[in-house]
A and B are shown apart, each in its own frame.
Chain A
Amino acid sequence: MCSTCGCSDGAETRLTVFTGEHKAGHSHADDGHQHGDHHHDHSHGSHEHHHDHDEAHAHSHEHIQENPASRTLQLEQDILAKNNHLAEHNRGWLEGREIVAFNLMSSPGAGKTSLLERTIRELGADIPICVVEGDQETTLDAERIGATGCRAVQINTGSGCHLDAAMIADALKRLKPPSGSVLMIENVGNLVCPALFDLGESAKVVIASVTEGEDKPLKYPHMFRSADLMILNKIDLLPYLPFNVDRCIAYARQVNPTLKVLQLSVLKGDGMDAWYSFLRQRKAAQSVTA
């Protein structure tokens, strides 16, 4: 628990590596979020530094003038600048190794982990795939992925509701995905917060399923606007549901006119080939640009 704000920050983010053969437990207690103090390198904290209240204040404030009141510093800085900077760092790291990374996002239960399991089973022999699993708690998903023989890292965000670029940077160090591989990042099941945080991925994929409302794209427009691809999963259940596929796609295109859409059933395998083609295309594109 973070001492500054009581939130779950880096101190509570945990990282567990699954090699596919054995579970190497690892407790992670730093690097997630930093609450500022660590960045200051001025000398107030040093033990030999002594303050006498009558002496001039030795701390150097470059911006402090004679004005006894206050002064306004124009910052004009993006609030997410730090995350975006780290995300670009991740992107460069991945591109330099010709690794194509996908950020998979959905509400809980849309089928992200099942999609990954089937993809690894059917494509893993051709293309090396590594997985970063994000959940608030448990290593269940990474265990499922690890059971396929795939290398996986579980990030537990504690009360955090999304993955951020710093967590991915840390996960990459542990995971060490091989050059030319595909990195699948399964974000925390949540259609709100993950939309705002760039992780350094090559593409954002949002997964909706026909057991959810067809109006999800309108209810969570930020998520659907930020995505490059929407996967509509569980289409094998369409005969039993009042879900209108065309209307769902129309809603999604209303918030994101250029959104690509694939309809598939992870359980039955319908439409999986189109997903694999998408992965191969993005991988080929990455190899050309890298």
Chain B
Amino acid sequence: MHELAITESIVESVEDRVNGARVLRVALLIGKLSGVVPDALRACFEICAEGTVMEGAALDIEETPGRARCRDCEAQVELLDTIALCPCGSANLAMLSGRELKIRSVEVVTCVPPADAPTALKRD
């Protein structure tokens, strides 16, 4: 269940960047061949976000298709799974996309919240 560690990493990275601001939305880019399952990520995010500035935030996951260049015939091929072959029969493929694991953006509240709002989320 590496999605849990991946999600912890997302929560940490976002917290590092938003300076305590409340987060409404986190947008991720997850490659279809990355080995990370979006549904598992969503389940973990709900749990990991609890008690942080991301609690209740929406999680947008954009999945990128797998693409590769065949090193033998130079064709670009779409990869539906990780064990794909080029139509020419070669397995010698250079991955171009599909393995991304990225935080694209976060939407944060910009209005001044009640003064105790951020502190309530901060636990020392």
Could you tell me if A79 and B2 are in contact, using CB atoms closer than 8 angstroms? no
Q: How far apart are A9's CB and chain B's nearest CB, in angstroms?
A: 7
- Per DSSP, are chain B's interface residues mostly helix, strand or loop, or mixed? mixed
Total A-B contacts with CB atoms under 8 angstroms apart:
180
Number of interface residues of A (CB under 8 A): 63
**B35 pairs with A77, CB closer than 8 A:** no
Beta-carbon nearest neighbor of B92 in chain A? A257
A42:B106 contact, CB within 8 angstroms: no
A34 to B11, CA, bound (A): 10
Q: Give chain A interface residues in 19-42, CB to chain B under 8 Å.
A: 33-37, 39-40, 42
Q: Determine if B2 and A161 form an interchain contact, defined as CB atoms under 8 angstroms apart.
A: yes
A105 shortest CB reach to chain B, Å: 13
Taken together as a complex, chains A and B put the C-alpha atoms of A75 and B10 apart, in Å, by 11
Binds B, one of A49-57, A118-126, A200-208, A265-273: A49-57
> Min CB distance, B34 to chain A, in Å?
8
Q: Which residues of A contact B36 (CB under 8 A)?
A: 196
Q: Mark A43-71, 1 if CB is under 8 A from B, else 0.
A: 01100000111011101111111011111
- Return 15 A-B CB contacts under 8 Å, by A number: A5-B4, A5-B47, A6-B47, A34-B12, A35-B8, A44-B122, A45-B124, A52-B115, A64-B110, A64-B112, A73-B107, A73-B108, A74-B104, A77-B13, A77-B17
A binding-site residues for B, Cβ under 8 Å:
3-7, 9, 33-37, 39-40, 42, 44-45, 51-53, 55-57, 59-65, 67-83, 160-162, 164, 192-193, 195-197, 218, 221-222, 225, 253-255, 257
